Amino acid sequence: MASAGDVNGDGIDDIIIGAIGADPEGPARALIERLTDGQSGPHGGTIRQKMKDVMMEKVGIYRNGTDMASAVEVLKELREAFQEVRCPDSGTAFNTALLEVLELGHLLDNAYITAVCALNRQESRGAHAREDFPERDDANWLKHTLAHRDQDGKPALSYKGVFIDWDRYPPQERKY
């Protein structure tokens, strides 16, 4: 009896391993080992507060390109500083300190890509107002922004069209 993968000459296990790698949990395991390696490093609380401040001050609802470009640079620096953060608790059971540090890393990644995407979108739309681009621009920006990392780990943006039932729900500017 042939398996689904045998049609192409590969077993399903070979297809899955080829798609996700032979050691999919390896990067996560390495990160946890680095964070709990017993070395001293800065506390993540300072980085978390700086991230919160820059996101509120420079990438809030009312934003502009100059402030967002500055935020992108600050967030890059905070992500680099995070590489030195260590968890004060190296225990393996109920380690909430480790969870907080891991969460901070994810928050930094999300804040960074949010700022990159917001800087890239040169229009105002919905509840997000660009002071330097006050008008909505359906001709260029009626699309979803997709963000991922390129081979060097840098943000790469692509776009996906928006499906709209033009007859029932034509796009229109919000008016308050």
Structural domains counted in the chain: 1
pLDDT score for 19: 60
Of residues 29 and 7, the one with the higher pLDDT is 29
pLDDT of residue 173 exceeding 80, the answer is: no
Looking at the chain, the whole-number percentage of residues with pLDDT higher than 70 is: 88
List helix spans (H) across the chain: 12-20, 26-35, 44-58, 65-82, 96-120, 138-141
pLDDT score for 54: 98
pLDDT of residue 1 exceeding 50, the answer is: no
Angle of the 26-35 helix axis to the 96-120 helix axis, nearest 10 = 110
Quick check: is 6 in a domain? no
3-state secondary structure of 63: strand
Give the CATH number of the domain where residue 47 resides.
1.20.58.100
Beta bridge partners of 161: 143
- Residues 39-68 have pLDDT tens digits of 888 889 999 999 999 999 999 999 999 999
Quick check: is 175 in a domain? no
> How big is the CA angle at 37 (ends 32 and 39), to the nearest 5 degrees?
135
Quick check: is 153 in a domain? no
Its sign, for the CA torsion 25, 43, 109, 126, is positive
pLDDT of residue 92 exceeding 50, the answer is: yes
- Residues 105-121 have pLDDT tens digits of 999 999 999 999 999 99
Per the structure, the complete domain to which residue 79 belongs is given by 28-135
pLDDT score for 127: 77
Number of CB atoms found within 10 A of residue 17's CB: 14
